[in-house]
Amino acid sequence: MSKNGKSPPRRTYSPEFKVKLVLQLLTKEKTAAELAREHGLRDTQIHVWRQEFLERSARVFAPDPPSQEDRKLANLERLVGQQSLEIAILKRALDR
C-alpha cells in the first residue's frame, strides 16, 4: 500500500507481451527468474501465464464455430432444398 492507504494500480500486460515471455521460457532462451528480473515481475506470474498458454494452445487448431451468417445461410439453403423437393412432388402429382 502507498502512503495514502490505497494500493498501487494493477499493471496490465498485453497478450503479445505475455506470449513473448512464455515463448522465451518454453524455448529455454531465458529462465522464469531471468524474465521476472528483467521485467519487474514475479516468476510465479510467468509460470501462471505459461500454464494458461499451454492449456489454451489446442484451441488454435480447433475449427472456428460457424458465424451467425453461416448459420443463416445454411438454414436458407436447407429451406430452398426443401421447397425444391416440394415443387417436384407437386409437379409429379399434376402430371398424373
Report the 10 Å Cβ neighbour count for 35: 20
Distance CA 31, CA 18 (A): 14
Angle at the Cα of 36 (from 32 to 5), degrees rounded to 5? 140
pTM for this prediction: 0.60
Dump pLDDT digits (tens) for 10-54.
889 999 999 999 999 999 999 999 999 999 999 999 999 999 999
Q: Residue 87, SS3?
A: helix
Dump pLDDT digits (tens) for 44-96.
999 999 999 999 998 888 888 889 999 999 999 999 999 999 999 999 999 88
Q: Would you say residue 1 has pLDDT above 60?
A: no
Domain map (residue ranges) of the chain: 1-62, 65-96
Distance CA 32, CA 44 (A): 8
